[in-house]
Structure 1
């Protein structure tokens, strides 16, 4: 099949390119736009308690709100607020409410601090647009107007809260995004220039992947609208990384094989046809494994993972089609001039370093497997100390940002949980009103929970069937302590609820608790399903039920080694309280899914070498010699690209950049180069059981010789001038 695809594309390169350009223009011009939403509660299904609590609040207390923005006031000299200061605060609060700022629905006075040095204004925004960029814009206007209104007074006013944090995150990310973008392009350009010494080849993948990116984004928008999927523009940055990472990998897989066929003496068009025929199955299988892994995210209970899976799968699907059609068409049209001005494509290099590594694997496979396996296992031990943190705001921007200053000051002046209190909603299970005589005892029990700073009855609805008890925690909403406290609050609220009532606990800490529960559930569901489906892909590629087991085990070890190393460095070394809770999922997306590409490429080349009549150990050595440079180049570019995220200057992207780049390096330079080929060499022919995918059509009678007739099909250029098979 892949030979037919290669033949068709090479015969009609212009029509192939024109078809892609027409598709790009049509899709980009007509695709709908994607919405944007970063509201944490939208991530969860309605079955979780925090969402049930939000539903109760909407029905019983439609006027109640959790502030989207908080204006915090203090005197410029740091002394307690005077009566005149309080009048100025009241004036500013009233004026902000009269300005009808977009998204702002209500502006009310907040409570003063216990020491009298601080007070606040609470701002409600439209909960239907929570987390969207328009609320960050509203926070920007609030800041400007509040500072203007405070001009001429003795007050210093700062605006914080979720909307202001979103604004500061946007501002903070601009510099980081610029550095990441420049770093990514520079790394790809420089590395490809070093590898091929050809400017056309260095620029070509960036241009072609740019076209694929435009088409992929349009297809995602169409799929979102057609199938009513949840998707938003917030995943665009991840899409870019996936497209350039996967696209560059497939480009390198194809170009290394194209150059190899040219060196073997093939005519240019025949060389590209042979390249697609020989590496097409590996590319398709690698893409299939990545697509399956991404689609497994649709099994997640978290909305942002369910929306991410199909989008990433569509992007990889578009990249796969481009790798088998667009890239071969463009390169075949240019011909060997694509390597200009380098002449190295004309002669076969010795590949001395990779040949030496191949001989090492061939001669000592047991030692190689043991050493590489022990390294992965030792690094994996760090996973035992993994802790998750939900404090995405402080992790994604410097502490000097205004919203972070507000958060820090509120934790000192008020209870740390005052900015995002927890609400316990007590509802009658019948239509009869609640017994108000039970409220005092119930409030006392909530206040006595370990980790609670205070509890009070906030309000009762008009029908008297629902009561809202505000519980202020001692800890900031996203901390582990707050999440643990919320669980204790839930236990008490449920157990001590008066007869005939039902209690649900809401608030930001409650949402984080449910996200934590959902993530742990997904780890037990999504990961095993994805692993099983990837094993099916590997089984179909290799016609074996043995090889997929140790291949997926090596991927699992690579995942463990990556997470463990990240824990060692950031939690143990730098003293972080925990790692971003999304980190294991992100590692799964990039390290497990994309890292599997290198295993597939290496094992496919090993099978090809074995089919030429080599013994299992010889095949492993030759596979490393010839596929090693491809894996090394692709792995280095992808790892270095992700490492640029560490330039952004915040903890979140530093952790993410290190984890993903280290994981890809492990996948390329440990798993694919040493662990996988050495295990395959040790297991021998049994690795391909029950099939015989590694058996030569015409076995050679002499061990170690390279049979000229082994390839068997129409490979008339299989024997290159240097006397070896390809």
Structure 2
């Protein structure tokens, strides 16, 4: 890198990051003013971020379940599945009597007479076979609102009216169904966001206080990222509106963690370098410029890897992933820019007061623990590589037993919510598949009316399908060209057995047995899960490789090497397998769950691969720096662990802890995500980046940088110059 003569003597490096560092250090008020103006503009004009829990809305129109839903809505506009379900039982737990059933019928009429807005009809069902409960189906108008606001408002009013009408009777009840689950998911999500936000901020405060012993440093990310988060939320909302992206309700909780967790990581990257430059004798402004120069490349390349990983999700066939990727990518991009401009400008204004009241920043710590680890690894890199590799490989074996589940609605609500409690009661009292029957639509393709003989014969054929408990009498539309069959399965509609039934024998039979001149479509919730599974498998084959290839190219450009990126990505892949295996062992094999939420591997891949690459980049760029100071590969690896180890350890601990806070939400979806991502980050930071990567690099030696010579010895700048290269212990410059 070229150098320029400084006014006070010495040299300063030329290039984008040195120039940015010097400009930010000397014009902090301009940078802060620009951020304030942008924040005010975005907060003032950005729309509200809308979310949804409707799985079908995430699927493209060419999937059969979506086609069946569209046909059902057009052919049977008044026969849509109830938006909500009132479930009633005796308060003393006894079986329902004829008098109770009559009271429920009267209750339905009373609720209808209340004229609750957006409740179009109520239909009283038959008592369950065991007389444990009885239901009232609630019809509501469909609309294009992804949050189903009209329906959720109707559920709120209906719940109040229901409890009022049940007062003084022998009955008790609650409301479940799609609209009720959406309402409870939103309520649960708001509580989860508050809890996650408090836990994340509290953890960051405590850990930064321990690391830097300064309340100023501890509050720095909370205040600055609080501003950044408002800008990110507004930009995401604009992008979602502009491109009609459907955002899952769990995204907002994840955004909190991404912004504060990743943002604190980048602040740590900068602060450790800033403190290091101060100890080397730089003035505060020189230290800011030098820290941006040295940490800038790591922050941008690491953030670029994260952004690329998230943007690779736009290649997904699922609207859920296509919206999730850009949302998280925008959050990281804004955080990255803040890490290079806003944070350094604030630190430039505060100078050494940023560490108040601690004076520890003046003295280089002994770093005995990381020095000992680095020294041992430098002497025995093969042992460190073997042990860390075996640990990750052993955990990765369990990943092959992963089984997906697809019910986002129940996974995004707390177990104690009204919709979840009464949904379980309904399942316990009825056949498992009765809660959400599948639909088979038989449609004439030649315009002729369907005959009764065809309808009856087709019903009998469907009833013989293995896994089908019951098939309703066909219900033709007004023109007689479309008939609807309600198909009750033997198993829970979201179970693997039900999915296998719809995917295999039900759809096969429905298509093949359709009479001449007709065609059949299989829809319903279980069919949606089947199609989501198919879409996810497609995404595994497309998104994963594309993200891996682009990140490998980024590593190649950053390291000027074709060899190092290959084993770095291999190590990240091993870390991903270990993370998925650990999650399977905890939640699926030991936790009693039938499977893990279907989107977990994709989200985990994005976070573990991207953030694992973050720490790999930080470690190997420091290793390269030590090699340029004249150290041989093993000594360079040892010094890299000594100096980069504390940064990676602190960043990994904060980020893993931030994502672990998702487990406090009380939702199975966020609990699994929280554990998986936090475990993946811990493995990436404390196993892969700390041990495996530097050990492999030490073993590969100079060949790691082939065909370039990125580890070639560089002549350091004049002592005391801004942006002076740092060579670790004693600033060694001996040549090999």
1:711, distance to aligned residue in structure 2 (A): 9.0
The counterpart of 1:121, out of the listed 136, 145, 150, is: 136
2:642 is equivalent to residue 625 of structure 1: yes
Structure 2: how far apart are the matches of 1:602 and 1:106? 63
Corresponding residue number in structure 1 for 2:601: 584
Q: Helix, strand or coil: the match of 2:711?
A: coil
Corresponding residue number in structure 1 for 2:56: 41
The counterpart of 1:238, out of the listed 205, 229, 254, is: 254
Contact 1:719–1:725 (Cα < 8 Å) also in 2: no
Render the CA deviation track for 1:263-307: whole Å, top value 9, x for unaligned: 111111111101111110110001110110011010111111111
Render the CA deviation track for 1:350-375: whole Å, top value 9, x for unaligned: 21111111112211111111111111
Corresponding residue number in structure 2 for 1:705: none
1:500, distance to aligned residue in structure 2 (A): 1.5
Q: Helix, strand or coil: the match of 1:158?
A: strand
1:181, distance to aligned residue in structure 2 (A): 2.4
The counterpart of 1:634, out of the listed 647, 651, 664, is: 651
The counterpart of 1:314, out of the listed 330, 338, 342, is: 330
Structure 2: how far apart are the matches of 1:224 and 1:72? 36
The counterpart of 2:578, out of the listed 552, 557, 561, is: 561
Instruction: Go from structure 1 to structure 2 and tell me whether the alpha carbon gap of 1:345 and 1:319 turns closer, same or farther (over 3 Å shift).
Output: same
Structure 1: how far apart are the matches of 2:129 and 2:446? 40
Structure 2: how far apart are the matches of 1:527 and 1:37? 25
Corresponding residue number in structure 1 for 2:11: none
Corresponding residue number in structure 2 for 1:247: 263
Structure 1: how far apart are the matches of 2:404 and 2:174? 30
- Pick which of 651-660 and 336-345 moved more: 651-660
Structure 1: how far apart are the matches of 2:205 and 2:520? 59
Corresponding residue number in structure 2 for 1:689: 706
Q: Helix, strand or coil: the match of 1:477?
A: coil
Instruction: Go from structure 1 to structure 2 and tell me whether the alpha carbon gap of 1:622 and 1:437 turns closer, same or farther (over 3 Å shift).
Output: same
The counterpart of 1:539, out of the listed 556, 560, 564, is: 556
- Pick which of 43-52 and 345-354 moved more: 345-354
Render the CA deviation track for 1:173-227: whole Å, top value 9, x for unaligned: 5554444322211210111011100110000111111111111112222333444
Aligned pair count? Answer: 716
Q: Helix, strand or coil: the match of 1:453?
A: strand
Contact 1:34–1:232 (Cα < 8 Å) also in 2: no
2:697 is equivalent to residue 724 of structure 1: no
Structure 1: how far apart are the matches of 2:330 and 2:315? 17
Instruction: Go from structure 1 to structure 2 and tell me whether the alpha carbon gap of 1:477 and 1:601 turns closer, same or farther (over 3 Å shift).
Output: same
1:694, distance to aligned residue in structure 2 (A): 1.1
Render the CA deviation track for 1:42-93: whole Å, top value 9, x for unaligned: 0100011100101111221111111121112223344444443333222222
2:495 is equivalent to residue 479 of structure 1: yes
Corresponding residue number in structure 2 for 1:517: 534
- Pick which of 536-545 and 168-177 moved more: 168-177
Corresponding residue number in structure 1 for 2:103: 88
Contact 1:265–1:721 (Cα < 8 Å) also in 2: no
Q: Helix, strand or coil: the match of 1:418?
A: helix
Structure 1: how far apart are the matches of 2:271 and 2:334? 19
Q: Helix, strand or coil: the match of 2:486?
A: strand
Q: Helix, strand or coil: the match of 2:432?
A: coil
Render the CA deviation track for 1:111-139: whole Å, top value 9, x for unaligned: 33223443211012233246535533322
1:394, distance to aligned residue in structure 2 (A): 4.6
1:571, distance to aligned residue in structure 2 (A): 1.6
Corresponding residue number in structure 2 for 1:199: 215
Superposition pairs for residues 200-599 of structure 1, below 5 Å? Answer: 200-231=216-247, 235-397=251-413, 399-487=415-503, 488-599=505-616
Structure 1: how far apart are the matches of 2:244 and 2:62? 20
- Pick which of 35-44 and 630-639 moved more: 35-44
Superposition pairs for residues 70-81 of structure 1, below 5 Å? Answer: 70-81=85-96
Structure 2: how far apart are the matches of 1:680 and 1:12? 40
2:71 is equivalent to residue 56 of structure 1: yes
Across the aligned residues of Structure 1 and Structure 2, the Cα RMSD in angstroms comes to 2.2
Structure 2: how far apart are the matches of 1:718 and 1:597? 21
- Pick which of 411-420 and 247-256 moved more: 411-420
Contact 1:264–1:721 (Cα < 8 Å) also in 2: no
2:682 is equivalent to residue 665 of structure 1: yes
- Pick which of 398-407 and 253-262 moved more: 398-407
Corresponding residue number in structure 1 for 2:10: none
Structure 2: how far apart are the matches of 1:84 and 1:416? 27
Structure 1: give runs of 5+ residues left out of the alignment.
699-708
Structure 2: how far apart are the matches of 1:721 and 1:399? 53
Structure 2: how far apart are the matches of 1:168 and 1:212? 29
1:542, distance to aligned residue in structure 2 (A): 0.6
Contact 1:368–1:674 (Cα < 8 Å) also in 2: yes
1:414, distance to aligned residue in structure 2 (A): 2.0
Structure 1: how far apart are the matches of 2:718 and 2:615? 24
Using structure 2 for the length normalisation, give the TM-score: 0.93
Q: Helix, strand or coil: the match of 1:457?
A: coil
Contact 2:53–2:182 (Cα < 8 Å) also in 1: no
Structure 2: how far apart are the matches of 1:282 and 1:632? 16
Contact 2:312–2:547 (Cα < 8 Å) also in 1: yes
Structure 2: how far apart are the matches of 1:154 and 1:449? 41
1:672, distance to aligned residue in structure 2 (A): 0.6
Structure 1: how far apart are the matches of 2:132 and 2:203? 51
Contact 2:64–2:521 (Cα < 8 Å) also in 1: yes
Using structure 1 for the length normalisation, give the TM-score: 0.94
Instruction: Go from structure 1 to structure 2 and tell me whether the alpha carbon gap of 1:138 and 1:623 turns closer, same or farther (over 3 Å shift).
Output: same
Instruction: Go from structure 1 to structure 2 and tell me whether the alpha carbon gap of 1:239 and 1:344 turns closer, same or farther (over 3 Å shift).
Output: same
Q: Helix, strand or coil: the match of 2:52?
A: coil
Structure 1: how far apart are the matches of 2:643 and 2:478? 77
Structure 2: how far apart are the matches of 1:571 and 1:348? 47
2:9 is equivalent to residue 19 of structure 1: no
Contact 2:65–2:528 (Cα < 8 Å) also in 1: yes
Superposition pairs for residues 184-195 of structure 1, below 5 Å? Answer: 184-195=200-211
Structure 1: how far apart are the matches of 2:120 and 2:626? 69
Structure 1: how far apart are the matches of 2:149 and 2:602? 25
Corresponding residue number in structure 2 for 1:704: none
Structure 2: how far apart are the matches of 1:119 and 1:503? 32
Instruction: Go from structure 1 to structure 2 and tell me whether the alpha carbon gap of 1:110 and 1:642 turns closer, same or farther (over 3 Å shift).
Output: same
Structure 1: how far apart are the matches of 2:729 and 2:128? 82
Structure 1: how far apart are the matches of 2:236 and 2:198? 26
Structure 1: how far apart are the matches of 2:80 and 2:535? 25
Contact 1:390–1:512 (Cα < 8 Å) also in 2: yes
1:388, distance to aligned residue in structure 2 (A): 1.2
1:158, distance to aligned residue in structure 2 (A): 2.1
